[in-house]
Amino acid sequence: MVRLVTQRTYAVPGISCAHCKASIEAAVAGVPGVDAVEVDVAARTVRVDGDVSDEAVRAAIDDAGYDVAD
Protein backbone atom coordinates (compact mmCIF):
# COMPACT_ATOMS: atom_id res chain seq x y z
CA MET A 1 0.00 0.00 0.00
CA VAL A 2 1.39 3.36 -0.98
CA ARG A 3 -0.73 5.46 1.30
CA LEU A 4 -3.29 5.01 4.06
CA VAL A 5 -5.42 7.94 5.16
CA THR A 6 -7.81 7.59 8.05
CA GLN A 7 -10.10 10.38 9.16
CA ARG A 8 -12.39 10.22 12.19
CA THR A 9 -15.03 12.79 13.07
CA TYR A 10 -16.45 13.10 16.60
CA ALA A 11 -19.48 15.07 17.72
CA VAL A 12 -18.73 17.10 20.86
CA PRO A 13 -21.84 19.10 21.78
CA GLY A 14 -20.01 21.10 24.48
CA ILE A 15 -17.86 22.97 21.97
CA SER A 16 -18.95 26.58 21.96
CA CYS A 17 -16.01 28.93 21.43
CA ALA A 18 -12.43 29.49 20.37
CA HIS A 19 -11.20 28.47 23.80
CA CYS A 20 -12.85 25.07 23.45
CA LYS A 21 -11.31 24.74 20.01
CA ALA A 22 -7.81 25.53 21.27
CA SER A 23 -8.09 23.22 24.29
CA ILE A 24 -9.31 20.23 22.33
CA GLU A 25 -6.89 20.71 19.45
CA ALA A 26 -3.97 20.92 21.88
CA ALA A 27 -5.09 17.80 23.76
CA VAL A 28 -5.73 15.68 20.67
CA ALA A 29 -2.53 16.83 18.93
CA GLY A 30 -0.62 14.95 21.65
CA VAL A 31 -2.21 11.60 20.83
CA PRO A 32 0.26 9.25 19.12
CA GLY A 33 -0.28 8.98 15.37
CA VAL A 34 -2.27 12.18 14.91
CA ASP A 35 -1.39 13.91 11.64
CA ALA A 36 -3.94 16.70 11.99
CA VAL A 37 -6.80 17.73 14.24
CA GLU A 38 -9.38 20.40 13.56
CA VAL A 39 -12.27 21.54 15.68
CA ASP A 40 -15.22 23.06 13.82
CA VAL A 41 -16.90 25.27 16.42
CA ALA A 42 -20.05 25.86 14.36
CA ALA A 43 -20.56 22.15 13.67
CA ARG A 44 -19.33 21.12 17.16
CA THR A 45 -17.15 18.41 15.70
CA VAL A 46 -13.57 17.28 16.05
CA ARG A 47 -11.91 15.84 12.93
CA VAL A 48 -8.83 13.74 13.49
CA ASP A 49 -6.57 12.56 10.66
CA GLY A 50 -4.00 9.84 11.20
CA ASP A 51 -3.41 6.27 12.23
CA VAL A 52 -4.68 6.66 15.77
CA SER A 53 -6.51 4.77 18.50
CA ASP A 54 -10.17 5.73 18.79
CA GLU A 55 -9.95 5.20 22.55
CA ALA A 56 -6.91 7.49 22.87
CA VAL A 57 -8.68 10.29 20.98
CA ARG A 58 -11.78 9.95 23.15
CA ALA A 59 -9.63 10.00 26.29
CA ALA A 60 -7.84 13.16 25.15
CA ILE A 61 -11.13 14.94 24.46
CA ASP A 62 -12.42 13.77 27.83
CA ASP A 63 -9.26 14.94 29.60
CA ALA A 64 -9.72 18.37 28.03
CA GLY A 65 -13.09 18.50 29.78
CA TYR A 66 -15.49 17.63 26.98
CA ASP A 67 -17.83 14.73 26.34
CA VAL A 68 -17.99 12.89 23.03
CA ALA A 69 -21.55 12.20 21.90
CA ASP A 70 -22.39 8.65 20.88
Cα distance between residue 58 and residue 53, in whole Å: 9
Q: Check if the beta carbon of residue 6 is closer than 8 Å to that of residue 39.
A: no
Question: Exposed, middle or buried by CB within 10 Å (0-12, 13-18, 19+), for 3?
Answer: exposed
Pick the binder of a copy of itself from 7, 16, 26, 41 (CB under 8 A): 7
Site for a copy of itself in 43-62 (CB under 8 A): 45, 54
Residue 11 within binding range of a copy of itself, rule CB under 8 A = yes
Is residue 5 near a copy of itself by the rule CB under 8 A?
yes
Residues lying near a copy of itself in the complex (CB under 8 A):
1-11, 45, 54, 68-69
